Amino acid sequence: MINLNENQKKAVEWKKGPLLIIAGAGTGKTAVITQRIIHILNSKWAKSDEVLALTFTEKAAGEMLERVEDELPLGYGDIWVSTFHSFCDRILKQEAYYMGLDSNYRLMNDAQSYMFFRKYLFDLPLKKFRPYGNPTKFIKDILSHFSRLQDEDVTPAEYIEYAKSLSKRGKIQKEEYEDTLELALVYEEYTKLKIANSKVDFGDLILLTIKLFREKPNVLKRYQEKFKYILVDEYQDTNYSQSVLVNILAGIDPKSDLSKIGKVNPNLTVVGDDDQAIYKFRGAAISNILQFKQYYPKAKEIVLTENYRSRQEILDGSYTLIKNNNPYRLEITEKVDKRLISKMSFPQDDDIVNLVVSQDGDGEAEWVAREILALTGHSQDTVVEKTQKYDQSGQSAFVELIPDRKYKFSDVAILVRAHAHAELVIQNLRYFGIPYKLGGSRGLYFRDEIKVLVAFLRLLTDYKDEISMYRVLNMNEWNLTSREFIEINRLAREQHISLLEQLESMFGVRVGKDMTFVISNMGEKVLSKEAIEGVQKLLVVFNDCIKMVKESVSIGQILYHFVQESGYIESLLEEKDGIAQFKVNNLNRFFNTIKEYETDNPESNIYEYIDFLNYSIEVGESPLVDQMDLTEYDAVNILTVHGAKGLEFPVVFLVNLVSDRFPSQNRRDTIPIPDELIKESLSGLDDREEHLAEERRLFYVGATRAKEKLYLSAANYYGTAKRKKRQSIFLNEIMDRDVTEEFDNPKIVKLEGDREIFSPVPEEDFNAKEIDIEVGRKVSYSQVNMYEVCPKKYEYAYVLKVPSKAHASLSFGSTVHNTLKDFYNIFKRYREGLGITDLPTKEDLVELFRKNWIKRGYESKKHEDSRKEDGVKILERYYDEFFNTEDVPYAIEKMFKVNLPDSSFVGIIDRMDLVDTVDDVPYVEIIDYKTGKLKSKLEAKKDLQLPLYCLFAEQSLGVKVVKAKYMFVEEGIEMEIDISQERKEIAKENVLDVIESIKRKEFKADPSLFKCKYCDYNSICKDAILN
């Protein structure tokens, strides 16, 4: 166990009953909750699968699980550490039968929900909220309204009941009644449509799980008995429905079990800080933590106040600020002392919390940049000749990095209330040559390297989309100089034709028809030889992709062809710097989003995908790209205060501290929730006061990110506004004095001189250096196998993460695996008497195969249909020859993880059948399905996968493996494998050797004509042997 202070130790070792841990900023909250889980397991109070830990982000859940796993013994079972949504998804998939829910339901994000709602727009009982002139106008607002209802645990039936009650309140309520009833009826119908189409959204996950527990007490009892300890991180950020879910599991349903208050004492631990509750805009209810002891009056209360982050002066100022939220704080309601005490030692410094006011926003931004230069030991003098701000590596061309400096650029964070407030600061950082990186929700679809791919896909659906063609034509891969590019555009405009038609005219071709190149005089006059070759390549690639669209080739394959044949990936990989690596990682993310879309929409085409993409961008649903993950870059961090939650920096600048910026304006929802349906409220505060309290908590979070220095800055005027801004109310509070004098006599009166400001800001907004990528921390057998085939291929796939081509064999294999998984899960439930009364039939197996079908990677529709027919025959034979009703499935697709020196090994066992039980130890047989070609006897003898799986299963899953076999489904042959102790040890040594090589980054190519011919990366690998 790590060193803990007295209160941390008490929290970790609390054994029985509810526990409220009030953990102030920087008091080691994450360490306490992870150490508590470890202590529970090591003390044998519960088994690993009897502990449930809930948090809010996948990243937080992953970090918590990793910390727990790192300190556990070599082997352990399943640990339920997840987000609320992942937990509910897991429950619903296991218990779908009880809900009449398809266990293969699809989880919709905002864009998918938008598309689904729009599809049924004219089937829903809409009137006012579907105006004929713009029928889609309110879709986003309606969905947001429904999401807030879900946050408040309001079912469609309850909403309809409320709406009807308005009719009894007189004529004055008629319009409100009609609007509310319309929304309530749509809410009911939309919910039914989702269930009928096997679709759920994130709010449904919570509400359906609550519904399951309320309607099926036997299921609830099973999970209540299962989870002996429940821990909830960041409890102040839970919404009302999430708190209901937690309380139901703990034994109290707020809708029906209030009589149990004071009578149940579950082992429920909630950790949080009411002063850091900053997510009201997404439904979070601070009242959950404030009212915890009302539900559990016997709860133990432990307050963590020893701060391991900040100077005392920063903590004192933050405390004087947050006290202004009294009396609606735990410090008052629970009569505890929440004043944070710094336990860190810092060198003497009288200049810790600083307030600087400028006459205007430009002066404020320039002062921030100059102060950063001073802090990092750089000269404030800029060069006179400002023609080049960055060198080829992306580093500032005129800020010399000083090795011996007190602060690095990466020690500094600039926090803003909203993304838009960062623009002036960014322009000044660029002017002074200060490298920076943007944190938070930078959408993947808005990255330059992805925009060009989106543009190309749009071009395939509309060749006259000039914006998209402009972006595609501007790619470096076509060898066009700026002059040539401009000339092509000028000629197209002059002749009133599209850019594509202009290129066709210059090269004498028609894309999709005749591709015999005949260069016109104009083409030879305007373009260089290199440009002619480049544009010819563009037209050929575009023609290829047009044909692929016509042949219904998958979107992923079409795009993969484009990035390969254009040389796009190859050119990125040639740049050995951080920008290039970051772009390649983003390409991989983009291909994964397409893969997910095609899985969820197997009958879709590129036209429907572009609609989906447009909707995604319209509703702001874009996968997040966070440059803060690039921790090895020495660059200033720019984040919103929300984005900085959980982070810390030696130096923090809080900027734009004026009224209407921070605190921000209070904006209500377009379609607000009726007050009577909102369970979360702070009695005594009106809407304006609640908003101000939330903004104060947000300011508190921003201030407590600072470890050594906190700068507060503001200006009297921003932009072209002529009205002087009012100072933020929070400045008086944190400085504990009236700061009016600073605003009346600003320190920064004007800029030092006229200068150029760059705008717009380019995408490459961080300092590019060679990335030191961590490798080999977590490996699987497929990774080991690929490394043994060719270390260079491993590097492309798992280190550089270059997107690979979709393969029919992989799609077919995944379909068969998923089918057998679902089939044996049904069979297992049938044997165990868990709601399945009929033995699954051959027809059931075939139906599951059709439902699980993945269409990616096939050469044509004919090829796909042929393989689908093969699959049906294969599985029918499997049922006849290998399905045995006497088999006892012990686990289906069981994941395991084993800690190794400086690494870990993860794997999934397709199936384990129970053979016997000896002294309470399950004796099992491991079955691994294969859809590839049959192994020879020699290959089987050398096989190391199953011996390894057997060894690690025994270490981590508490079983004894007595047999192991491959099931070659396509061939209809079983093959038993030698799993003697000798084979297990050989397998383990082999894996350890491979991991060691990976960690040494030994990625030398091992080419051969056979291997390279079928390698996805042969077009970008310089070592490939292709002839």
Where exactly are the structural domains of the chain? 6-97+205-304, 106-197, 353-440+630-672+682-744, 444-625, 779-1013
Of 373-377, 466-470, 486-490, 718-722, the range with the lowest mean pLDDT is 718-722
DSSP string, 347-367: ---S--EEEEEEEEHHHHHHH
Give the pLDDT score at 803.
64
Q: Which amino acid is at 290?
A: L
DSSP 511: T
Residue 788, number of CB atoms within 10 A of its CB: 15
pLDDT band at residue 768 using 50, 70 and 90 as cut-offs? very low
Report domain 779-1013's class. alpha beta
Is 931 annotated as contributing to ligand binding? no
CA separation for the pair 463, 510 (Å, rounded) = 12
Is 512 annotated as contributing to ligand binding? no
Per residue in 666-681, pLDDT (tens digit) is 878 889 888 888 876 6
CATH 3.40.50.300 fits 6-97+205-304, yes or no: yes
Task: Give the residue from 765, 641, 782 showing the smallest Cα distance to 712.
Answer: 641
The tokens for 531 are 């440009």
pLDDT band at residue 385 using 50, 70 and 90 as cut-offs? very low
Query: Based on C-alpha coordinates, what's the Rg of the chain?
Result: 31
The tokens for 280 are 């009201």
Listed in sequence order, the residues at least 6 apart from 174 whose beta carbon sits closer than 8 Å to its beta carbon are none
Of the ranges 521-535, 548-562, 572-586, 1004-1018, the best mean pLDDT one: 548-562
Q: What share of the chain is helix, strand, coil (3-state, %, to 5)?
A: 50, 15, 35
CA separation for the pair 84, 411 (Å, rounded) = 33
Average pLDDT over residues 272-279: 90
Give the pLDDT score at 342.
96
Is 96 annotated as contributing to ligand binding? no
Is residue 594 a contact partner of residue 555, using CB atoms and an 8 Å limit?
A: yes
Residue 153 has pLDDT above 70, yes or no: yes
Of 112-126, 346-360, 455-469, 511-525, the range with the lowest mean pLDDT is 511-525
Residue 972, classed as helix, strand or coil, is coil
Which bin fits 359, alpha (ψ -120 to 50), beta or left (φ > 0)?
A: alpha
CA separation for the pair 544, 539 (Å, rounded) = 9
Give the pLDDT score at 515.
78
CA separation for the pair 564, 569 (Å, rounded) = 6
Is residue 983 a contact partner of residue 991, using CB atoms and an 8 Å limit?
A: no
Residue of 415 and 1011 predicted with greater confidence:
415
Listed in sequence order, the residues at least 6 apart from 558 whose beta carbon sits closer than 8 Å to its beta carbon are 457, 460, 545, 548, 549, 606
CATH number for the segment(s) 353-440+630-672+682-744: 3.40.50.300
Give the pLDDT score at 349.
84
Average pLDDT over residues 275-293: 80
Is 27 annotated as contributing to ligand binding? yes
Residue 434 has pLDDT above 50, yes or no: yes
CA separation for the pair 598, 246 (Å, rounded) = 35
- % of the chain exceeding 90 in pLDDT: 50
Classify each residue of 849-887 as buried b or exposed e, where b means 16 or more C-beta atoms within 10 Å of its C-beta: beebbbbbbbeeeeebeebbeebeebbeebbeeebeeeb
Residue 1024, classed as helix, strand or coil, is coil
CA separation for the pair 562, 584 (Å, rounded) = 15
Average pLDDT over residues 717-722: 78
Task: Give the residue from 899, 978, 982 showing the smallest Cα distance to 940.
Answer: 978
Query: In the beta sheet, which residues pair with residue 171?
Result: none
pLDDT band at residue 251 using 50, 70 and 90 as cut-offs? very high
Average pLDDT over residues 905-920: 94
The tokens for 255 are 């809708």
Is 813 annotated as contributing to ligand binding? no
**What are the strands of the beta sheet with 229-232, ordered from one edge?**
80-83, 51-55, 229-232, 268-272, 19-23, 300-304
Cis-peptide, bond into residue 125, ω within 30° of zero: no
Helix (H), strand (E) at residue 498: none
Residue 413, number of CB atoms within 10 A of its CB: 24
Say which residue the tokens 């088994």 belong to: 47
Residue of 927 and 721 predicted with greater confidence:
927
Residue 612 has pLDDT above 90, yes or no: no
CA separation for the pair 685, 690 (Å, rounded) = 6
pLDDT band at residue 796 using 50, 70 and 90 as cut-offs? confident
Residues in the chain: 1027
Residue 750 has pLDDT above 80, yes or no: no
The tokens for 866 are 């042929």
CATH number for the segment(s) 444-625: 1.10.486.10
Is 693 annotated as contributing to ligand binding? no
Query: In the beta sheet, which residues pair with residue 736?
Result: none
CA separation for the pair 591, 596 (Å, rounded) = 9
Fold agreement (353-440+630-672+682-744, 444-625): no
Is 30 annotated as contributing to ligand binding? yes
CA separation for the pair 954, 380 (Å, rounded) = 63
Is residue 589 a contact partner of residue 898, using CB atoms and an 8 Å limit?
A: no
Is 413 annotated as contributing to ligand binding? no
Residue 79, number of CB atoms within 10 A of its CB: 21
Give the pLDDT score at 392.
41
- % of the chain exceeding 70 in pLDDT: 90
Residue 210 has pLDDT above 80, yes or no: yes
E strands, 641-695, are 649-654
The tokens for 470 are 């402009």
Average pLDDT over residues 517-523: 78
CA separation for the pair 915, 770 (Å, rounded) = 53
Give the pLDDT score at 474.
86
Q: Which amino acid is at 146?
A: F
Residue 760 has pLDDT above 50, yes or no: no
Average pLDDT over residues 778-801: 88
Per residue in 929-979, pLDDT (tens digit) is 998 777 777 777 788 899 999 999 999 999 999 999 999 998 899 999 999
Say which residue the tokens 């910390």 belong to: 67
Q: Sort 688 into a burial class: Cβ within 10 Å, 0-12 / 13-18 / 19+.
A: exposed
Residue 744, number of CB atoms within 10 A of its CB: 9
User: Do strands 624-625 and 636-640 pair parallel, antiparallel, or not at all (unpaired)?
Assistant: unpaired
